[in-house]
Amino acid sequence: TTITLHPNRTKQISDMLVGVFFEDINYAADGGLYAELIQNRDFEYALSDKEGYDKTWTSKHSWLIKGDQTSFTVDSVNPLHVNNPHYAVLTVKQGETTLSNQGFDGITLKKGEKYNLSLFTKTLAGKVNRISARLVANDGKILAQAILKLGHTNWKQVNASLLPNDNANNASLELTPMGNGTLAMDMISLFPTNTFKDRKNGLRADLAQTVAAINPRFVRFPGGCVAHGDGIHNIYRWKNTIGPLESRVPQRNLWGYHQTAGLGYFEYFQFCEDIGAAPLPVLAAGVPCQNSATGGAGQQGGIPMEEMGAYIQDIFDLIEWANGGVNTPWGKKRAEAGHPKPFNLKYIGIGNEDLISDIFKERFTLIFNAVRKKHPEITIIGTVGPFSEGSDYVAGWKLADQLEVPMVDEHYYQNTGWFIHNQDYYDRYDRSKSKVYLGEYAAFLPGRPNNIETALCEALYLTALERNGDIVHMSSYAPMLAKEGHTQWNPNLIYFNNSEVKPTTGYQVQKLYGQNAGTTYIDASITVSSNQNAVKNRIAHSFVVDPFTKDLIVKLVNLLPIAVNSKIDLNGILPTSVKAVKTTLTGNAADKNVEPLYADQVVSEKFDLQLAAYSFTIIRIKTQK
């Protein structure tokens, strides 16, 4: 195989091509990226979160009482906040009652790291002057303890710092109020101080670091289907997710569990800033999933038209909250939350994989026109419905053409063969139309987990996305995170449990693209010794130039089960160093969790390179001293 560059045939491509998709699916938020260790800290779990099939899913979920079982009730008479109506009431006798929580599948603790315990309490009757708080290992060993002083009769937050004397994977928090009387408790929280970038109310450091290592140019949030919700009342409302934690509005997650909103818009924007990624919030286009007003097979509908003005105002308020000065009403709220500087919001997604019905069109058009008029500086990303259901895709594109939507969000989950046979998909796109955000995609093998084959198909397809980086502005693999034992969707990019992060080979592909992005694409031609398309289709290349270092980045994918000897002709581009770094991702077809290998590669204007069987190779060539 010979690959010859054409340095005189270049084009500028997007500097935003690889980003990440975050959705609270598979316990990605609570119990996942959000570092809170207590499950159901606010006593707001409700049977309706689980659609009634789990009878334990009540406001007492995850809480156990040691001692008299009748001493623990949940009340809502005089709550801490109207948005957080339920709280625990404990009838206490001589310190004989202990309330405990095992977190999300047990609490994982690290020796020598500090954990902040905080809770709101008030004494309702009698005298309850102290709480003994303990972190206890599975075998009963006390890992840390503290005494918190009480005595107040109005809601007040009390705190303690706990320092475990050992590591533990299955620990629990135990709270034993001391005295005789009745005590109310709410927002019982245990947070590691070692969060990502040490943010308060922050993210799990190891998981956030794994995401950051992709070097994503943007983060899309909060979904996926979570963004448009399962019924009108389940639409994700950003305003419900900012402000003091006790004032946020928790809600049912359409993936069958509970969202505390502890990981809310402020935390998403802060994370984006911390990793140098652009925030990409996706808001419902005034319609829920499948345009189903009540969720499931319910009646079709969207937000009533007379409420759309207020809904659009919420979008304006979001832009002001993100970008407005501290003297604007919403900019002030951002400043009060600890971020006076604007967040520099540039993109907003409207709609997610919706049915492109009249109900949708009417609402989308209203939102699109209003936001475009008031905020021409914001790039609005529309949606063209689910790719596999052709009629919505066609209707979505038709609407985008009519309204001249700057960018549209396409989604496709396809088998490996589709990605191999559709590498020319965007080569055919009309450059005068909307740009594309490939917001959700993944290659899968029916009934099998993702492996190096799916990952190499994605790497292959990404060479085509780079080639089409003049029309494809952004892309994100989906879904990103999945907690072991709570996975509703497969495949995902990064699996994890409470103590380990398990990136897939597909993750390595995203990371290698994110870390080796370029903004100038150089055309190349390839001659393959075989005439068979089945062979030709399985070798792919992309050459881009890093705008900062001016390195020439060579990407080569070999999806064949045999090694391929190739000659690379840089055709006039002269490396300034004969030594380049070669990164290879390779393995047997079914290998999972493959990691990249790094080696030196001798390069010159023309050099030989053997592409290993089933491999993705990147070479960074210096072109400037």
Task: Name the residue among 284, 167, 299 with its Cα closest to residue 236.
Answer: 284
- State the minimum distance, in angstroms, from the CB of residue 489 to ligand AHR: 5
- State the minimum distance, in angstroms, from the CB of residue 479 to ligand AHR: 4
Q: What size, in residues, is the chain?
A: 625
- State the minimum distance, in angstroms, from the CB of residue 128 to ligand AHR: 45
Q: Is residue 489 a contact residue for ligand AHR (CB under 6 A)?
A: yes
- State the minimum distance, in angstroms, from the CB of residue 225 to ligand AHR: 4
What string marks each residue from 111 to 150 as x (binds ligand AHR by CB under 6 A) or -?
A: ----------------------------------------
Place of tokens 């500028």: 12
Residue with Cβ nearer ligand AHR (27 or 543): 27
| Nearest-angstrom CA–CA distance, 606 and 448 | 41
Residue with Cβ nearer ligand AHR (397 or 543): 397
Residue with Cβ nearer ligand AHR (23 or 186): 23
Q: Is residue 24 a contact residue for ligand AHR (CB under 6 A)?
A: no
494 to 22, 133, 212, 273: CA distances (angstroms): 11, 34, 12, 21
Residue with Cβ nearer ligand AHR (225 or 261): 225
Q: Is residue 493 a contact residue for ligand AHR (CB under 6 A)?
A: no
- State the minimum distance, in angstroms, from the CB of residue 615 to ligand AHR: 28
Contact 63, 209 (CB under 8 A): no
What string marks each residue from 576 to 615 as x (binds ligand AHR by CB under 6 A) or -?
A: ----------------------------------------
Contact 413, 381 (CB under 8 A): no
Q: Is residue 440 a contact residue for ligand AHR (CB under 6 A)?
A: yes
| Nearest-angstrom CA–CA distance, 598 and 258 | 42
- State the minimum distance, in angstroms, from the CB of residue 98 to ligand AHR: 40
Binding segment toward ligand AHR, per CB under 6 A, in 155-163, 187-195, 219-227, 393-401: 219-227
What is the rounded end-to-end Cα distance, in angstroms, of the chain?
Answer: 30
Q: Is residue 356 a contact residue for ligand AHR (CB under 6 A)?
A: no
Q: Is residue 458 a contact residue for ligand AHR (CB under 6 A)?
A: no
Binding segment toward ligand AHR, per CB under 6 A, in 187-195, 218-226, 445-453, 527-535: 218-226
- State the minimum distance, in angstroms, from the CB of residue 480 to ligand AHR: 9
DSSP 183-195: EEEEEEEEEES-B
Q: Is residue 224 a contact residue for ligand AHR (CB under 6 A)?
A: yes
Residue with Cβ nearer ligand AHR (231 or 469): 231
Residue with Cβ nearer ligand AHR (150 or 226): 226
Task: Name the residue among 197, 173, 365, 189 with its Cα closest to residue 285.
Answer: 365
353 catalytically annotated: yes
Residue with Cβ nearer ligand AHR (106 or 286): 286
55 to 39, 58, 85, 259, 486: CA distances (angstroms): 17, 7, 20, 18, 18
Residue with Cβ nearer ligand AHR (29 or 37): 29
Options 179, 264, 351, 479; binder of ligand AHR; rule CB under 6 A: 479
Options 85, 223, 262, 396; binder of ligand AHR; rule CB under 6 A: 223
- State the minimum distance, in angstroms, from the CB of residue 440 to ligand AHR: 5
- State the minimum distance, in angstroms, from the CB of residue 353 to ligand AHR: 4
Label the pairing between strands 552-558 and 564-569.
unpaired
Other beta carbons within 10 Å of 472: 25
Binding segment toward ligand AHR, per CB under 6 A, in 95-103, 178-186, 221-229, 312-320: 221-229
- State the minimum distance, in angstroms, from the CB of residue 228 to ligand AHR: 8
Helices (H), 197-328: 205-212, 225-228, 265-275, 308-323
Other beta carbons within 10 Å of 120: 23
Contact 38, 238 (CB under 8 A): no
Binding segment toward ligand AHR, per CB under 6 A, in 58-66, 220-228, 336-344, 444-452: 220-228
| Long-range interactions of 593-596: CB distance < 8 A, separation 24+ | 593/502, 593/503, 593/504, 593/505, 594/452, 594/455, 594/505, 594/508, 595/508, 596/508, 596/512
Rounded to the nearest 5 degrees, what angle is found at the Cα of 81, between the Cα atoms of 122 and 287? 155
Contacts of ligand AHR in 401-420 (CB under 6 A)? 411
DSSP 555-600: EEEE-SSS-EEEEEE-TT---S-SEEEEEEEE--TT--S---EEEE
Binding segment toward ligand AHR, per CB under 6 A, in 182-190, 217-225, 330-338, 372-380: 217-225
Contacts of ligand AHR in 418-437 (CB under 6 A)? none
Binding segment toward ligand AHR, per CB under 6 A, in 107-115, 201-209, 223-231, 415-423: 223-231
Residues in the interface with ligand AHR (CB under 6 A) total 12
| Nearest-angstrom CA–CA distance, 200 and 410 | 35
Contacts of 456 (CB under 8 A, 6+ apart): 509, 557, 559, 585, 614, 615, 616
Residue with Cβ nearer ligand AHR (352 or 584): 352
CA 280 to centroid of chain Cα atoms: 11
The type of residue at 199 is: R
Place of tokens 């991702």: 585
Catalytic one of 353, 410, 453, 466 = 353
Q: Is residue 352 a contact residue for ligand AHR (CB under 6 A)?
A: yes
Q: Is residue 267 a contact residue for ligand AHR (CB under 6 A)?
A: no
Options 18, 20, 23, 143; binder of ligand AHR; rule CB under 6 A: 23
Contact 463, 476 (CB under 8 A): no
Residue with Cβ nearer ligand AHR (80 or 381): 381
Contact 550, 624 (CB under 8 A): yes
| Nearest-angstrom CA–CA distance, 97 and 76 | 21
**Residue 453, SS3?**
helix
DSSP 311-353: HHHHHHHHHHHHHS-TTSHHHHHHHHTT--S-----EEEE-SS
Options 36, 186, 230, 353; binder of ligand AHR; rule CB under 6 A: 353
What string marks each residue from 363 to 382 as x (binds ligand AHR by CB under 6 A) or -?
A: --------------------
Residues of this chain that interact with ligand AHR (CB under 6 A) are 23, 25, 223-225, 352-353, 411, 440, 478-479, 489
Q: Which residues are catalytic?
A: 353
